[in-house]
Amino acid sequence: MISSSLSVSISSTTISTLLVAVRSVGFSGSRSPSAAALSELHSVFPLIPAFGCRVSVGCAAGVDSAVRSAFSSSPSLLVFSATSSRFAFAGSVAALALRSSACVRSVARGSRGLLFVLPSGACPPGVVPSRSFRGKGSGSWGSAALALGLGRRIVVWFPPSIFPPSWSGCSWSSVGCGWWLCLPSIPPSVQLSLF
């Protein structure tokens, strides 16, 4: 059995490696995260590059609030508020989706960006990677699916007994301590014929 201190070290090293070339990170998660989720979230904060890395987050309670608090003095913090005139015109529910979409889109593609997602439960049926936001009641899973649909990498923390969804074309790999990396599917190159 691995001790908890060794387990944390393994996770930190792996997440540190994922953050080496990162220029922007985003966060999405539950409004009422468990103590375990908050503990894992706080273990990630010191790993975020202090300079040259934008931190994007929403305006909600829970995970969003913890991120805003941790990076409140950072000039690189970018907060997306559903009540801003940019989103509020659409009405309360649509404003939340627009806010989450903008937050996800602010994260760089490929190895230069990473979206951390801490949902409170399993992915709702019908939520799949897409180029538009469709969370079916879960902003966290809607953000994760949108990120993959737009070519962003995600790292999801799963509560015990919850496992990654079976999304076609996506590659999941455990990075320890409940964190799972998911890479977007890359469409095969198409050979065009001249004839």
- Return the pLDDT at 159: 85
Does pLDDT of 9 surpass 70?
Answer: no
Taking residues 133-142, report their average pLDDT: 93
Scan for tokens 């375990």, then name that residue: 36
Question: Mean pLDDT of all residues in the chain?
Answer: 88
Confidence of residue 7 (pLDDT cuts 50, 70, 90): very low
- Return the pLDDT at 96: 93
H/E segment holding residue 86: helix 85-88
Joined together, the tokens standing for residue 6 give 């060794």
- Return the pLDDT at 95: 92
Q: Residue 169, CB half-sphere, CA atoms under 13 Å: how many?
A: 12
Does pLDDT of 160 surpass 90?
Answer: no
Give ∠ CA 153-156-159 in degrees, rounded to 5: 170
Taking residues 26-50, report their average pLDDT: 95
Annotate 117-153 with b (16+ C-beta within 10 A) or e (fewer): bbbbebbbeebbbeeebbbeebbbbbbbbbbbbbbbb
In the chain the domains, ranked by start, together with CATH numbers, are 22-183 (3.40.50.450)
pTM of the model: 0.88
- Return the pLDDT at 48: 95
Joined together, the tokens standing for residue 76 give 């690189």
Taking residues 119-131, report their average pLDDT: 95
Taking residues 63-92, report their average pLDDT: 94
